[in-house]
Amino acid sequence: MSHTSDTHDQPLSSGIGRRRFLNSAAVLGAAGVGLVACKEDRTAGGGAASAAGGKAASGADAARGNVGGAGSVDIKPGQLDTHYGIWSSGHTGDVRVLGIPSGRELLRIPCFVPDALIGWGITNESKAVMGTNPDGSLKYHVGDTHHVHGSYKDGVYDGKYVWINDKINARLARIRLDYMVCDKITKLPNVQGFHGIFPDKRDPVDPKINYTTRVFCGQEFHVPLPNNGKNTNDPKQYHCLFTCVDSNSMKVKWQARIDGNCDLVATSYDGKLAATNQYNTENGVHYQEMMAAERDACLFFHIERIEAAVKAGKTTTLGDSKVPVVDCTVDANKDPKTALCVRVSVPKNPHGVNASPDGKYFICSGKLSPTCTVIELQKVLDWFDGKLASPDKAIVAEPEVGLGPLHTTFDGRGNAYTTLFLDSQICKWNIDKAIKKYAGDKTINPIVDKIDVMYQPGHISATHGETRAADGVWMAVGNKFSKDRFLPVGPMHPENDQLLDITGDKMILAHDNAVRPEPHDFILFKRDVLHTKQVYDINEFPLATKDPKDTGLKREGHKVTVRMTSQAPTYNPAEFNVKVGDELTIILTNIDKVEDLTHGFAIPEYNIQFLVNPGETKSVTFKIDKPGVFWYYCTNFCHALHLEMRGRMLVEG
C-alpha cells in the first residue's frame, strides 16, 4: 500500500515510541530519556487500512456480505484509517474528527462552547478567540453547529481550514487543520439563525485566485432590520441577510438584504455564483404560513456584481454595524442586466442545495416535495446576461426521488445520492438521465438504486463528494433516529452514522456507528489531504518561555505574573508565593518536544484545568481570594512520575 509514513512528512503513529518512552523513563526516573525510541518503528503499527478504495474486496471479506469495491470497514488493531471525516456535532457545539471507514472518533475540536479536557474557555487564549464580556467572562456558553466545509484550491480540498457555523449565536468559526484547533470566531452582525455556510472555490474575477477567499453565510430566521424592539409586528421590516466573510482575516466583507430566508448555501466552481435555498419565500412567521406557497426558491447571488456595488458605495448600514449592506430584495433586482441576485423557483419548502462535482448544476432537495430540482448554472449566468427569458428556464430536471428529500451528494460518475427523511432511504439517481427525462423522454428512469437506512437520514456526504475529486468510494449518512440499532441507554438514543460502499451499481450498507447527538453535516476525504503537526512551533506563541531559567514570578502592585515551564515530570517553578487580593496570571510553556507528551495544569478551588501540548504556551488569569496551600498538578498522564508532577501555590494567611 502506498500510505506508509514515508509518504507523509509527519509520523502516522507513535504508539510504540510512546510506550517505550514511558518504560525507559520509569527505569531511569528522569525526564527527556528514551526519546530516540520515538523515531523508530513508525510504521510498525501503521501501514494502511484495508483498502483505499477502488480495490476489489478479498474473498473472505466478500463472504461477510457487506463488502464491495471500497473494501472492508474492519480496521485491524494497529492499522490506520484511509480517510478523515470532519463532523459537525450539533448542539454539543464542537467539531469532531473521525477515522473512516472505521468510524472511530479521533478528536473533538472545541470552538463555540467550553471544553473541560483542553481547557477551552478557561485559558486566556481560548477566551480571546471565543469572545468575552467586559468583565472577562465568556459571552456565550452554548453553540449549535450544523455545517462544516473545507478550504479549496483548484476545486479540491487544500487541507488548510474548515469553517463551521453556530446557529444559536450567529458565529462562524475557523479550524486550522495543521494543529486541529479553532483559531478565529466571527460574529455576524444583525443575524439570527445562521444556518448554511459554504466557502467559495475561486475568485469570480481574478483567475489567479483559484482558492478560497470568502465564506458565504445564510440567515434562516428573518427579523426586523435593525432588530431593536421597534416594528416587531410589521412584516415589511422583516428580512434576512446573506453574509460574506473574508476567509483570511475572518472579517465580514458585506451583507445582502433579501426577502424570504436562507437555508443552506452552495458555491459554484467558477466562483461566479453562490446560492441559498429558501423555504420561507412567504416571509411567514408560523409554519402554516411558511408552507403556503406551492413553490419556494433557490436564490442565486452574482458575486462580481455585488462586490462592484459594494465598491461603488451602493450600500447602507444597519444599526451599530459598519458592514456595507447591498439590496438583494426581489423588487430591487428585476432587470437581469443589473440584478445582483435572482430567484429560481423550487417546489414547496426545499432543503439543501448541493453543487455537482462537474461544476454544472446546483441541486435542491424537495423536503415537502418528493423531487429534486436540478438547476443549470450556465443558464443562470445566461439570465444575468439577458439571454434567458425567465429564471425558471434554468431548471433542467425535477426527478421524483421519494419522500422527504433533504441532502444530496455525488460519486463523480454522474450519480447523485439523496437522503429521504420520510422513507428512511437513500435514493441513487443519475443526473443525465433525469435531465433527458425532463426534456421529454418519458421512457427513461433516472432512479438507479434505493437502500434502507436506519432511520430518518439528514445529511449525506461521499468521499470528496463536494469537490472536483469526488471518487465515489465511501458515503456517510447521518441518521436522526437509531431506535433499535444499539443497546438502549435510557430515553436518549445515540444517533446512527452509517457508512455505505458506493463503488458498485448497488449501494452496500457497511457499518453502523453510534454517535453522540447530534451530528448534522460532515466531509470525508483521503488522509493524505492533511499534514497535521504533532509538536508546536514554540515561536507561534509570543508569551512562550523558551528557557527554564527565564521562569519565575514578577509582581506589579496586585498584578502577579508567574512564567512557568513544564518538562516531564516537573514544573518550573515548583512553588511560588502570592497574597490574597492578587490577580494572578500563570503563563505555562510546555518545553517538552516529544510527540504526544502533553501536560495538564489544574489548581484546586479555582476552576482551572487545561492542557499544554509539546511546544505550546497557554495562560490563565484569576483572583486569589483565600489563604492556604494549593497544589497545582499535571492532569494528563505524561510520565512514570506523572503523579509526582506537581507544585505549590502558597498563599499566606
Q: Which is nearer to ligand CUA, 186 or 566 (CB)?
A: 566
- 128 exposure class (CB count in 10 Å sphere: 0-12, 13-18, 19+): exposed
Residue 637 engages ligand CUA in binding (rule: CB under 6 A): yes
Closest approach of Cβ 610 to ligand K7E, in Å?
A: 31
Phi/psi for 278 (5° steps) reads: -125, 120
Closest approach of Cβ 538 to ligand K7E, in Å?
A: 39
Query: Which 516-535 residues touch ligand K7E, going by CB under 6 A?
Result: 520-521
Residue 591 engages ligand CUA in binding (rule: CB under 6 A): no
ω into residue 226 within 30 of 0, thus cis?
yes
Residue 595 engages ligand K7E in binding (rule: CB under 6 A): no
Say if CB 450 and CB 443 are below 8 A apart.
no
Query: Which residues on neighbouring strands pair with residue 363, listed in sequence order?
Result: 354, 374
Closest approach of Cβ 637 to ligand CUA, in Å?
A: 5
The span of 70-78, 319-327, 404-412, 635-643 binding ligand CUA (CB under 6 A) equals 635-643
Largest CA distance in the chain: 89
Residue 195 engages ligand K7E in binding (rule: CB under 6 A): yes
Residue 564 engages ligand CUA in binding (rule: CB under 6 A): no
Residue 171 engages ligand K7E in binding (rule: CB under 6 A): no
Query: Which residues on neighbouring strands pair with residue 244, listed in sequence order?
Result: 216, 254
Q: Which amino acid is at 506?
A: K
Q: Are strands 559-567 and 583-590 parallel, antiparallel or unpaired?
A: parallel
The span of 181-189, 334-342, 467-475, 633-641 binding ligand CUA (CB under 6 A) equals 633-641
The span of 133-141, 261-269, 373-381, 638-646 binding ligand CUA (CB under 6 A) equals 638-646
Say if CB 256 and CB 217 are below 8 A apart.
no
Residue 259 engages Ca ion in binding (rule: CB under 5 A): no
Residue 260: left (phi > 0), alpha (psi -120 to 50), or beta? left
Residue 599 engages ligand CUA in binding (rule: CB under 6 A): yes
Query: Which 141-170 residues touch Ca ion, going by CB under 5 A?
Result: none
Cα distances from 501 to residues 55, 156, 336, 428, 476, in angstroms, run 12, 22, 44, 12, 9
Closest approach of Cβ 351 to Ca ion, in Å?
A: 11
- 539 exposure class (CB count in 10 Å sphere: 0-12, 13-18, 19+): exposed
Question: Which residue among 406, 426, 591, 638 contacts ligand K7E (CB under 6 A)?
Answer: 406
Q: Which ranges of 347-415 does DSSP label H, i.e. alpha helix?
A: 377-384
Please tell me the distance from the alpha carbon of residue 314 to that of residue 324, in angstroms, as a whole number.
Answer: 9
Count of residues of this chain found to bind ligand CUA when the rule CB under 6 A is applied: 9
Q: How many CB atoms lie within 10 A of CB 224?
A: 18
Q: How many CB atoms lie within 10 A of CB 565?
A: 25
Residue 568 engages ligand CUA in binding (rule: CB under 6 A): yes
Say if CB 436 and CB 444 are below 8 A apart.
yes
> Among Ca ion, ligand CUA, ligand K7E, none, what binds residue 296 when CB lies within 5 to 8 Å by partner kind?
Ca ion
Residue 642 engages ligand CUA in binding (rule: CB under 6 A): yes
> Among ligand K7E, ligand CUA, Ca ion, none, what binds residue 146 when CB lies within 5 to 8 Å by partner kind?
ligand K7E
> Among ligand K7E, Ca ion, ligand CUA, none, what binds residue 599 when CB lies within 5 to 8 Å by partner kind?
ligand CUA
Q: Which is nearer to ligand K7E, 61 or 521 (CB)?
A: 521
Q: What is the DSSP letter of 314?
A: -
Q: Which is nearer to ligand K7E, 192 or 321 (CB)?
A: 192
Question: Which residue among 72, 186, 212, 349 contacts Ca ion (CB under 5 A)?
Answer: 349
Q: Which is nearer to ligand CUA, 384 or 632 (CB)?
A: 632
Half-sphere exposure of 269 (CA within 13 A, CB side): 19
> Among Ca ion, ligand K7E, ligand CUA, none, what binds residue 520 when CB lies within 5 to 8 Å by partner kind?
ligand K7E
Question: Which residue among 38, 420, 435, 645 contacts ligand CUA (CB under 6 A)?
Answer: 645
Closest residue to ligand K7E, based on beta-carbon distance: 458
> Among ligand K7E, ligand CUA, Ca ion, none, what binds residue 349 when CB lies within 5 to 8 Å by partner kind?
Ca ion
* Residue span 323-362 as binding mask against ligand K7E, x where in contact by CB under 6 A, dash where not: ----------------------------x-----------
Residue 505: left (phi > 0), alpha (psi -120 to 50), or beta? alpha
Q: Which amino acid is at 272?
A: K
Say if CB 5 and CB 43 are below 8 A apart.
yes
Question: Which residue among 20, 96, 108, 146 contacts ligand K7E (CB under 6 A)?
Answer: 146
Cell triple for 273: 455564483
Say if CB 553 and CB 566 are below 8 A apart.
no
| 364 closest CA partner among 344, 379, 340 | 344
Query: Which 276-295 residues touch Ca ion, going by CB under 5 A?
Result: 279, 290
Q: Which is nearer to ligand K7E, 272 or 520 (CB)?
A: 520
Closest approach of Cβ 568 to ligand CUA, in Å?
A: 5
Question: Which residue among 99, 150, 366, 458 contacts ligand K7E (CB under 6 A)?
Answer: 458
Q: Which is nearer to ligand CUA, 456 or 619 (CB)?
A: 619
Question: Which residue among 217, 634, 640, 649 contacts ligand CUA (CB under 6 A)?
Answer: 634
Q: Which long-range contacts (CB under 8 A, 24 or more apart) does 495-499 make?
A: 495/519, 496/454, 496/455, 497/87, 497/103, 498/453, 498/454, 499/73, 499/100, 499/101, 499/103, 499/474, 499/475
The three-class DSSP label of residue 12 is coil
Q: Point out which residues bind ligand K7E (CB under 6 A).
A: 146-147, 195, 351, 406-407, 458-459, 520-521
Q: Point out which residues bind Ca ion (CB under 5 A).
A: 279, 290, 296, 349
